[in-house]
Structure 1
Amino acid sequence: MPSSRTDLAPTPREGRRPRLRTAAIATGVVAVAAGGLYVTGLVATGDDISAGTRVDGVDIGGMSRAEAAARLTAEAPASWKAPIPVRVGDGSTTVDPAAAGLTVDVAKTADLAADPSRDPFTVIGRLFSPGERQIRPVLAYDEAKTKAAVADLAKQNDRTVREGSVAFREGRAVATQPVTGRKLDTGQAAETLRAAYPAATGAAAVTLPVSVTEPKLPAGEVNRFLDTYAKPAVSGPVTLTAGDQRLRISPATLGDHLTVKNDKGRLTAFLDEEALLRDPDVARPLAALTGAPVEASLGVQNGKVVVESEGRQGHEVTAKALGDAVRPLLTRSGDTARTAPVATRITEPELSSGSLARLGITEQMSTFTVNFPTAPYRTTNIGRAAELINGSLVQPGEVWSFNKTVGERTPDNGFVDGTMILDGSYRSAPGGGVSAMATTVYNAMFFAGVQPVEHGAHSFYIERYPAGREATVAWGQLDLKFRNDTGKPIYIKASATDHSVTVSFLGTKKYDSVEAVAGPRTNITQPVKREGTGEACVPQPPLEGFDTTVDRVFKNNGVEVKRETYKTHYTPRDEVTCKPVAEDAAGR
């Protein structure tokens, strides 16, 4: 029946109403539950940072950012401040992290630890997450400080490569061991330090990057050469024999002339035999061991040059012979093993009976004698100068020097104090009187016709010498020199007595004769009278000053072929009286 279908079948609207009510009730229940969880989560979360949050073991859970930053500052882990152990090459050290600009930014770390969101889903989610959170500290980095710290490490640990070597010093072999060069890579080192901070307690040292430069010569080669050559070389003296004569060369002398070279990675030694031969510690005893040839002594008989006493052979050790004898001994040990003969060669004198004609020393070219008042100092000084000059052999083109031949006029050279002209006055000084020798040589040179190179006259005239044809010398200031331009050797013969000195030139004449033509004295000037002082003062008589000329005239077959004019200016010789020394001292 229609009515019953109507009563039994509800309308669609009435049929849905119970389900909607049920869903609404369920949703409300969930919302209430979620709200409760959210509230619970907020309560559990605290102010900013969730409970159970830690930074390197420091608990900052439930704190605000400020509180967390304060705790991290107060309870900072030791690793944040502990020195960072580092290794640079084969060396170890530590780096203060703060000084190197490496620190923890506690404020930023607290910010990082704070809850990232307060939305319900995040807050409720935390209620069901594990109870602890580990937060990595936020690092602060001061690049300038890090660079400075790394630069300091480089300064302390960098080293330049050093090559190995061996040298000889004071008779000892001294080795310099090679050292590997090392240079810190500062850019990479800064990054390595930054990555290593903070270092865990007990962590291994951080190895900083370095570049290495190996020496070219390994230590093994240095030690090999030291043991096999250098130490034996100066282990004792070497002894050379020539006949029954012996010469000992000390380790110090040997070492002075040994040098070591690196020949493509292998050390070798070089003995400078030339320098060893010149060394006074070798040359002096070697001269006694061998002996130079003795030259013949020449004289003149009937206008011809003759041998007055024959020379004799000498024995010489050459630099090569010396080196050949010494080198094999340097690697040996013991006196007997370090002894060997040295080869000598015979040397002939230049002058002998058989060589005179070949050399062209056949005639007396000139001779000149100067007389002087006898005085002990003149006898000594002029005699010594004659001894040193006698026998001089001047080769063609060679320049002969008075100062070089005679040497400095000192007591060690055999000279004594005597009277000479200094600053326009007679004074007592070593070598006084040698001007007589210089004047004699000058005149022998003048009449031999050879070329003058340097000469000077006295400042005022001395009566016993020919005016305009005399000479004086002063060590280091004025010399007497001539050049042998004859084309043949010249032999100088000199002899002296207690009142005269004679010098002769022997050789081959370039001109038949050489004459001196003196001019008149002009520009006469008068002396004055003055008083000298001091122990070196020597009284002197007055003499006028003047100018004069002397012509040197060269002739062949009686005909003049050349003429040279020499001009000389003499100052007045003042009259000097000497104040007694005691009076002079009292006046001062």
Structure 2
Amino acid sequence: MTVRAGDLSSTFVPQDAGVAIDWEATVAGAGKQSANPITRLTSFFTTHEIEPASTIDEQVFAPQLDRIRTELSPAAVEAGVNLNGGTINVDPQPKNGQQVDATKLKDAVTSDWLKPGGVEVDAQVTEPTLGDKVVKSVQDGDAAKALSAPITVHGRDGVDGVIPVDRMAEVVSFVPDGDKFRTDVNADAARSILNEALGATETKKQNATISYAGGTKSITPSQDGVTIDWDKTLEGFSGRVLSSDQRTLDAVYTDEPATFTTDMAEKATFDEVVGEFSTGGFAEASGENIRRVAEIVNGAIVAPGDTFSLNGYTGPRGTAQGFVESGIILNGHADKAVGGGISQFATTLYNAAYFAGMEDVAHTPHSYYISRYPAGREATVYEGAIDLQFKNTSQYPVRIVTNFDGSNISVALMGVKAVNVESQNGGRWNYTAPQPMTLSGDTCTPSTGAQGFTTSDTRIIRDLSGNELSRETTTTVYDPSPIVTCK
């Protein structure tokens, strides 16, 4: 049987839908024999039609009725607008939906299901919120303005960055927002397109470098940098995109002079130990990683005012760079990972910078205390997450010199010594007890645990005449090392 509503139709098989003729009720509905003799006589020669009575199995009928209603009540199709190849594209096209009342549908199906022409039911038309009128406002408004002309950014040396009309779709999008479209302008995408040409007008700042290969001082010249200040360049950019004029602008540049110039390098001396520190007691695999990172960092120069980043300087520390799997601390217990042990180098470098009077920009102590390090004066690192950074606040450049002998790692900052540094430990307090932990797997290492505690360290910096320049106290809280049982 067919059920129609508006331009849509659905079908069902009465037998499968729990709909059937109630024969007893139908016969009963035929009425009784008339007492009128004429009516009785004519009944031998004529017939009259009666409506059949229906029986409904609600348990079977209900899901079929829901299906029919769903098929006859499609939601309105909301329009979509986008820019495609420099043209305005409407996809999907808006389309009316309709709604069929559930009660009226049931009444119609149960009463008319045997009609040869099928079942007819009324439907209420539902219009899309984002219909033709809203689409036209976008087409005639923001979309038309966005495609009115290319956007050109004038750079240095006669180089222009251009967002052509046929690439405007990468920058401008129209997002449904209630009863309208919201126009979004992606400044990052615009920057990427513009930088395809304007990137050539930028120069990366390069400080002078010094090497002592073969005992001879060799200088790689410095180079001043220049970069585009994209925040300033693209200030008010959305307004430009959605206007019919103001389609050209000038790139704003920032000059970045080298902080360690060729002239400074030629005059620089690295004859004095500004700060140094040594640690030992590491495992063989950790030692391999410490040796490798020491090779990479050895010879690095930190110019006055510059900040040294261990993660930034070494870059990735994976097997491709010569690092191996070794011990790390993971969630408070011992584990293994490629590059493990580099935290010992970080601690050694941190202390060398500490005694050189460098400014502590970023350092993170271990989660629990490791006895081979000075309490409250150590650092861990993790690629991409935890870094060690210090700033050279002196007026002289320093050169990081590393020495690895298989048992110890030493780091010295060489340059011109201008300060003396003293470290005062504040003792230990607020002890906390270790908790048991059961682990499994090949990397599990049993441990008897250790107490946690709080400690402090005070750094006192004095000039070479003994005058105090600064005094700073840092407090560190160590978690208890868990008692690990392996199963």
TM range (shorter): 0.5 to 0.7
Superposed CA offset, 1:242-297 (max 9, x none): 335465779999655543134775545322214643x6x87687544323556799
C-alpha contact 2:369 2:375 (8 A) present in aligned 1: no
C-alpha contact 1:296 1:311 (8 A) present in aligned 2: yes
Please give the alpha-carbon distance, in whole angstroms, between the structure 1 residues aligned to 2:371 and 2:196. 44
Please give the alpha-carbon distance, in whole angstroms, between the structure 2 residues aligned to 1:130 and 1:428. 100
Which residue in 2 is equivalent to 1:7? Answer: none
1:444 is the counterpart of 2:353: yes
Please give the alpha-carbon distance, in whole angstroms, between the structure 1 residues aligned to 2:11 and 2:466. 104
Please give the alpha-carbon distance, in whole angstroms, between the structure 2 residues aligned to 1:368 and 1:492. 13
Instruction: State the SS of the aligned residue for 1:133.
Output: coil
Compare relative contact order (CA 8 Å, sep 6+) and give the higher one, 1 or 2.
Answer: 2
Which residue in 2 is equivalent to 1:57? Answer: none
Which residue in 2 is equivalent to 1:270? Answer: 184
Give unmatched runs, 5+ long, in structure 2. 211-219, 261-271, 280-286, 330-335, 405-409, 426-455, 477-487
Of 213, 218, 226, 2:126 maps to: 213
Which residue in 1 is equivalent to 2:102? Answer: 186
Give 1 or 2 for the bigger CA radius of gyration.
Answer: 1
C-alpha contact 1:386 1:437 (8 A) present in aligned 2: no
C-alpha deviation, 1:208, in angstroms: 0.8
Q: 1:254 to 1:420 in 2, by over 3 A?
A: farther
Superposed CA offset, 1:86-125 (max 9, x none): 31232124455564635373785488376322xxxx3367
C-alpha deviation, 1:443, in angstroms: 1.9
Which residue in 1 is equivalent to 2:256? Answer: 349
Q: 1:231 to 1:86 in 2, by over 3 A?
A: farther
Which residue in 1 is equivalent to 2:73? Answer: 158
TM-score when normalising by structure 2: 0.55
Please give the alpha-carbon distance, in whole angstroms, between the structure 2 residues aligned to 1:550 and 1:478. 25
Of 67, 88, 103, 2:21 maps to: 103
Matches within 5 A, 1:47-446: 83=1, 85-96=2-13, 99=17, 101=19, 103=21, 105=23, 108-109=26-27, 112=30, 115-117=33-35, 122-123=36-37, 132-144=45-57, 149-166=64-81, 175-196=91-112, 198-199=114-115, 203=117, 206-219=119-132, 222=135, 242=155, 243-245=157-159, 255=169, 257-262=171-176, 267=181, 269-274=183-188, 276-277=190-191, 286-291=198-203, 312=224, 314-319=226-231, 321-322=233-234, 343-349=250-256, 367-368=274-275, 381-382=293-294, 384-385=296-297, 390-391=302-303, 393=305, 402-403=310-311, 406-410=314-318, 415-417=321-323, 439-446=348-355
Please give the alpha-carbon distance, in whole angstroms, between the structure 2 residues aligned to 1:95 and 1:377. 74
C-alpha deviation, 1:216, in angstroms: 0.9
Please give the alpha-carbon distance, in whole angstroms, between the structure 2 residues aligned to 1:477 and 1:137. 84
C-alpha contact 1:439 1:470 (8 A) present in aligned 2: no
Count residues with an aligned counterpart. 400
CA-based RMSD: 6.4
Paired AA for residue 87 in structure 1:
R
Paired AA for residue 137 in structure 1:
I
C-alpha deviation, 1:381, in angstroms: 4.4
Superposed CA offset, 1:111-153 (max 9, x none): 8376322xxxx336755x6974332224212244565653331
C-alpha deviation, 1:344, in angstroms: 1.9
The structure with the largest helix share of the pair is 1
TM-score when normalising by structure 1: 0.48
Please give the alpha-carbon distance, in whole angstroms, between the structure 1 residues aligned to 2:328 and 2:162. 48
Q: 1:322 to 1:467 in 2, by over 3 A?
A: closer
Superposed CA offset, 1:317-351 (max 9, x none): 4246358789978999xxxxxxx976222313377
